[in-house]
């Protein structure tokens, strides 16, 4: 029985609801044209700008249980004269009233919905606004059957763009879901608003606030129409998980006057940073905090095109921690007090941010300090810091792009104060006041721009204004070690400003320098910036670094070169390095040089030197310089001690590849106690000299001048006194190109007179090497692997011509009664074009 009763109740209830809905639909459908007509008529009374609507319809279900006038694809034009721009665009607008209104025939709109739209509000420099679209004389008469009595406004997915060109402010806000309840009377308007938004940016002057912040609102306010005052009840604004309670008054009877109080609850570093200009906090925006952070402030005064209210905030931390979410390092046990004010002029020029009595712990090591940042238009910064800092821990927390990692300790006791703009304008003057010192204890660094690691760094750096005195700064760069004592001048300008020069005046000492590493492109250039092949070198001289160094280096290595006891003075100015005196020991002898290295054109580095070589081993010299990149005469062919004076201009590209076509050099050289061992061209003269003697040709001394130009070595004629029994004196001259093409002229005697004066090593020593001997003139032409030894017909003809002149002169002398010479050199006449074929 009960089941039947329940079934009947449900049936009749459902039937009643369906019937009511059916009646409601019928009524709405029957009256929809009249309702829409009344809505349009009433709207036209209130709105004075053009409104474009795609479609107007009446719906019972879209905002059920209310009836909704629905406007699709709406475009409301702004109120500025002759403007065609939009004040608002929306996919949907809904104006709702009750179903009872339909039955009564009097319609009162209580709710307004705007969905998926954009609002563009702007105020021009002259103060005119684009949102004045409501008619001031549009009050509805008592006889009106359609009225707007809004009690609720709901925004969903609406972007608000606000630009005030007078105050130089702009806002970009997304209202995801925002609802406002209205209570309107002739004297007051009461508003309660709740919802969540995203503030993309709030720009005030040059500052940018709340960038990309999610904000939840819960606010209540009353607008007193007569007094023109907004009474803001304590309202809650949530930013980054922090709660801010805002209350006070806003008066708009004249210039807008603010008297607001702001208290922070559950605040954090990131929520506090969101309240400051982005240019001040961009580098800190990713950091997070834990612990007790407190905040409160006031905003008082007029806000207009010419006036700014006074802003004063106080904040602080008690036993808080500060960290980056991507790393484990933290600054712990932080305590500080801080304040911000825009000053007596209520402007950026009198604004000051101050942090006092900062103290905390980094990896168990305490530190303390203070910071003051004043005059945001022309910043003056002052800070001091004291503590023993763990370098690796600090770098991990700071996440500097330039430094990949580090370790060691730095004892920091520094203070800094100065006007940054004034310093930038006059960096050379005493515009900064720095003091204190930093002492490094076994610090190591891995830099992004320098793959070669810095390790075992120790030393003291004492700051005085713009300069730093360096005491016993030692460490290693790769395998190379260094010790520096001196002055680093203009350090602060070099670190803080662009294109500033650092000048180092110092003593430089090293036990070992490995230039294979120091000049390696792989070890000194980030991978993405490398241009050479594996194993290539790279020399880049910064235009912003200068130095005066007194250098003392015990050992130096570069490829096969090994130098020791290097001493000298080196200067660098404007990418030109120069030295008046460098000396060292290498290749079994001594080396002294003066000259310049000009790196102003990176791909044409010019090295101009005047050098003196003393008693160097020739075979070692050829080995060290890799046989000068030729295989004709190599280290295995030579013995002896070289003494030479060399003046040269040598050119390289930035990868230290020589530009041999530009090379120029003048060489005056002497080789003593020399040997030529198993030299192939000498073997070609076995027809004149014993092959055994040619295999190991000794000479006491060789002296000559050489010139190098256009990839060619020019060799003037020189006499080589050797141990060859058949040719104790050999004369050589000619040219040798860098492509290893040879063009030599050789002169040697075919026979000679015997002398009693002999030497066990060098054979008979002739008093006059040409006297009484017949001379053989030869040429050697070709490249290393294919050369010809032939008679030098041209020189023979020249010699015959010269001898005929001499004989004619002797005949004249004889006729004049002069005594003729006892002996006369005999010539060997050869057939033209005849070659030696062995």
Per-residue pLDDT, averaged over 244-262, amounts to: 85
Phi-psi region of 357 (alpha: psi -120 to 50; beta: other; left: phi over 0): left
Which of 350, 376, 402 is a domain's end point? 376
pLDDT at 1: 54
Structure tokens at 739: 């492509």
Per-residue pLDDT, averaged over 240-262, amounts to: 84
Regarding whether 514 and 410 lie in a shared domain, the answer is: yes
For residue 823, pLDDT over 60 is answered with: no
Q: Would 17 be classed as within a structural domain?
A: no
For residue 576, pLDDT over 90 is answered with: yes
pLDDT at 688: 60
pLDDT at 399: 75
Parallel, antiparallel, or unpaired for β 774-782 and 763-764? unpaired
| Most confident by average pLDDT, 121-135, 468-482, 744-758, 814-828 | 468-482
DSSP E strand boundaries for 678-795: 696-709, 712-721, 729-737, 742-751, 758-759, 763-764, 774-782, 787-791
SS (H, E, C) 231-293: EEEEEEEEECCEEEEEEEEEECCCCEEEEEEEEEECCCHHHHHCCCCHHHHHHHCCCEEEEEE
Regarding whether 384 and 365 lie in a shared domain, the answer is: no
Regarding whether 414 and 314 lie in a shared domain, the answer is: no
pLDDT at 509: 97
Work out the pLDDT band at 627, boundaries 50, 70, 90: low
Regarding whether 808 and 665 lie in a shared domain, the answer is: no
Q: What are phi and psi of 380, to 5 degrees?
A: -115, 125
Q: Would 574 be classed as within a structural domain?
A: yes
SS3 content of the chain, % helix, strand, coil (to 5): 15, 55, 30
pLDDT digits 0-9 by tens, 97-116 = 877 776 677 778 888 888 99
- What's the mean per-residue pLDDT of the chain? 79
Regarding whether 512 and 437 lie in a shared domain, the answer is: yes
Q: Which residue has the higher pLDDT, 796 or 452?
A: 452
**Nearby residues of 379 by Cβ (< 8 Å), 6 or more positions away:** 373, 419, 420, 421
Which of 347, 376, 405 is a domain's end point? 376
Q: Would 430 be classed as within a structural domain?
A: yes
pLDDT at 760: 38
Q: Would 89 be classed as within a structural domain?
A: yes
Work out the pLDDT band at 478, boundaries 50, 70, 90: very high
Regarding whether 556 and 528 lie in a shared domain, the answer is: no
pLDDT digits 0-9 by tens, 595-621 = 999 999 989 999 999 989 898 887 777
pLDDT at 283: 62
Regarding whether 660 and 555 lie in a shared domain, the answer is: yes
Regarding whether 355 and 253 lie in a shared domain, the answer is: yes
Q: Would 368 be classed as within a structural domain?
A: yes
Q: Would 412 be classed as within a structural domain?
A: yes
pLDDT at 766: 33
Q: Which domain holds residue 673?
A: 541-677
Q: Would 797 be classed as within a structural domain?
A: yes
| Most confident by average pLDDT, 351-360, 697-706, 776-785 | 351-360
pLDDT at 755: 43
For residue 757, pLDDT over 60 is answered with: no
Regarding whether 743 and 805 lie in a shared domain, the answer is: yes
User: Which residues does residue 488 pair with via DSSP β-bridges, in sequence order?
Assistant: 468, 504
Locus of tokens 């400003």? 497
pLDDT at 686: 59
Q: What percent of the chain has pLDDT over 90?
A: 22
Q: What percent of the chain has pLDDT over 70?
A: 77
Residues constituting the chain: 838
For residue 826, pLDDT over 50 is answered with: no
For residue 831, pLDDT over 50 is answered with: no
What total of structural domains would you count in the chain?
Answer: 5
pLDDT at 14: 52
Q: Which of the residue ranges 4-18, 438-452, 548-562, 741-755 would you say has the lowest mean pLDDT? A: 4-18
Regarding whether 508 and 591 lie in a shared domain, the answer is: no
Q: Would 752 be classed as within a structural domain?
A: yes
Per-residue pLDDT, averaged over 477-489, amounts to: 95
For residue 710, pLDDT over 60 is answered with: yes
Q: Which of the residue ranges 344-348, 561-565, 687-691 would you say has the lowest mean pLDDT? A: 687-691
**Nearby residues of 559 by Cβ (< 8 Å), 6 or more positions away:** 516, 624, 626
pLDDT digits 0-9 by tens, 319-364 = 888 877 777 778 889 999 999 998 888 888 899 999 999 999 998 8
For residue 561, pLDDT over 80 is answered with: yes
Regarding whether 831 and 748 lie in a shared domain, the answer is: yes
pLDDT digits 0-9 by tens, 136-186 = 555 544 566 777 777 888 889 999 888 888 777 788 889 888 888 877 777
Q: Which residue has the higher pLDDT, 50 or 826?
A: 50
pLDDT at 837: 42
Structure tokens at 158: 């609406």
Regarding whether 672 and 724 lie in a shared domain, the answer is: no
pTM above 0.85, yes or no: no
pLDDT at 151: 81
Per-residue pLDDT, averaged over 646-657, amounts to: 88
How many CA atoms does the CB half-sphere of 303 hold within 13 Å? 19
Q: Which of the residue ranges 246-260, 302-316, 416-430, 684-698 would you say has the lowest mean pLDDT? A: 684-698
């Amino acid at each position: 029985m009960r089941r039947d009763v329940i079934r009947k109740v449900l049936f009749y209830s459902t039937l009643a609801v369906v019937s009511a809905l059916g009646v409601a639909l019928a009524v709405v459908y029957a009256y929809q044209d009249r309702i829409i007509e009344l809505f349009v008529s009433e709207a036209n009374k209130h709105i004075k700008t053009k409104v474009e609507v795609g479609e107007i319809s009446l719906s019972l279900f879209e905002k059920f249980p209310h009836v909704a006038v629905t406007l699709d694809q709406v475009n409301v034009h702004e109120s500025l004269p002759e403007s065609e721009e939009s004040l608002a665009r929306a996919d949907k607008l809904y104006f709702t009233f009750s179903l009872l209104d339909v039955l009564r025939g009097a319609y009162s709109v209580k709710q307004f919905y705007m969905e998926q739209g954009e609002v563009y509000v702007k105020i021009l420099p002259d103060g005119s606004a684009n949102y004045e679209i409501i008619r001031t004389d549009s009050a509805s008469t008592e006889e009106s059957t359609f009225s707007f009595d809004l009690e609720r406004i709901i925004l969903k997915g609406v972007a608000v763009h606000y630009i005030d060109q007078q105050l130089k402010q702009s806002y970009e806000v997304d209202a995801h879901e925002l609802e406002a309840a209205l209570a309107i009377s002739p004297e007051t308007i009461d508003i309660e608003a709740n919802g969540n938004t995203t503030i993309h940016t709030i720009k005030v002057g040059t500052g940018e606030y709340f960038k990309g912040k999610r904000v939840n609102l819960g606010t209540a306010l009353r607008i007193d129409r007569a007094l023109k005052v907004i009474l803001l009840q304590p309202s809650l604004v949530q930013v980054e998980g922090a709660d801010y309670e805002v209350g006070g008054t806003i008066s708009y009877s004249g210039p807008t006057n603010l008297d607001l109080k702001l208290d922070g609850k559950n605040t954090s570093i990131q929520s506090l940073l969101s309240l400051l200009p982005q240019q001040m906090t961009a580098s800190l925006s990713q950091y997070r905090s834990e612990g007790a952070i407190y905040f409160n402030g006031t905003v008082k005064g007029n806000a207009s095109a010419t006036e700014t209210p006074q802003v004063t905030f106080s904040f602080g931390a008690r036993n808080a921690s500060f960290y980056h979410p991507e790393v484990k390092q933290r600054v712990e046990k932080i305590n500080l007090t801080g304040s911000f004010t825009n000053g007596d002029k209520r402007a950026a020029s009198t604004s000051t941010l101050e942090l006092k009595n900062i103290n905390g712990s980094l990896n168990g090591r305490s530190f303390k300090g203070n910071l003051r940042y004043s005059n945001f238009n022309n910043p003056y910064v002052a800070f001091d810091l004291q503590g023993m800092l763990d370098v690796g821990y600090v770098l991990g927390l700071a996440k500097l792009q330039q430094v990949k990692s580090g370790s060691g300790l730095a004892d920091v006791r520094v203070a800094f104060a100065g006007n940054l703009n004034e310093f930038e304008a006059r960096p050379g003057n005493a515009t900064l006041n720095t003091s204190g010192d930093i002492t490094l204890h076994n610090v190591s660094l891995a830099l992004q721009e320098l793959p070669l690691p810095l390790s075992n760094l120790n030393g003291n750096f004492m700051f005085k204004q713009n300069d730093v005195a360096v005491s016993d700064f030692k460490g290693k760069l790769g395998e190379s070690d260094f010790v520096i004592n001196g002055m680093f001048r203009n350090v602060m300008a070099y670190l803080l400003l662009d294109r500033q020069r650092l000048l180092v005046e110092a003593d430089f000492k090293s036990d070992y320098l490995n230039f294979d590493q120091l000049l390696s492109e792989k070890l000194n250039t980030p991978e993405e910036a490398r241009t050479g092949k594996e194993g290539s070198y790279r020399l880049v001289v910064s235009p912003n670094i200068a130095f005066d160094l007194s250098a003392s280096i015990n050992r130096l290595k570069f490829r096969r070169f090994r130098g020791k006891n290097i001493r000298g003075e080196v200067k660098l100015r404007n990418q030109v390095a120069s030295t008046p005196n460098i000396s060292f020991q290498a290749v079994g002898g001594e080396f002294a040089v003066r000259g310049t290295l000009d790196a102003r054109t990176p791909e044409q580095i010019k090295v101009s030197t005047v050098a003196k070589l003393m008693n160097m081993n020739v075979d070692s010299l050829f080995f060290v310089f890799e046989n000068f990149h030729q295989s004709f005469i190599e280290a295995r062919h030579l013995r002896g001690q070289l003494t030479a004076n060399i003046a040269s201009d040598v050119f390289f590209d930035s990868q230290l590849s020589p530009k041999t076509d530009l090379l120029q050099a003048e060489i005056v050289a002497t080789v003593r106690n020399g040997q030529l061992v198993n030299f192939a061209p000498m073997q070609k003269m076995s027809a004149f000299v014993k092959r055994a003697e040619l295999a190991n040709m000794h000479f006491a001394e060789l002296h000559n001048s050489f010139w190098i130009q256009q990839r060619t070595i020019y060799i003037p004629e020189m006499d080589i006194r050797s141990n060859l029994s058949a040719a104790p004196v050999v004369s050589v001259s000619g040219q040798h190109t860098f492509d290893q093409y040879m063009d030599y002229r050789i002169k040697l005697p075919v026979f000679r007179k015997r002398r009693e004066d002999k030497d066990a090593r060098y054979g008979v020593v002739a008093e006059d090497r040409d006297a009484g001997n017949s001379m053989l003139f030869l040429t050697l032409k070709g490249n290393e692997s294919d050369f010809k030894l032939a008679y030098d017909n041209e020189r023979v003809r020249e010699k015959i011509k010269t001898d005929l002149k001499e004989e004619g002169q002797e005949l004249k002398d004889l006729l004049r009664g002069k005594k003729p010479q006892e002996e006369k050199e005999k010539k060997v006449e050869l057939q033209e074009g005849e070659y030696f074929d062995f």
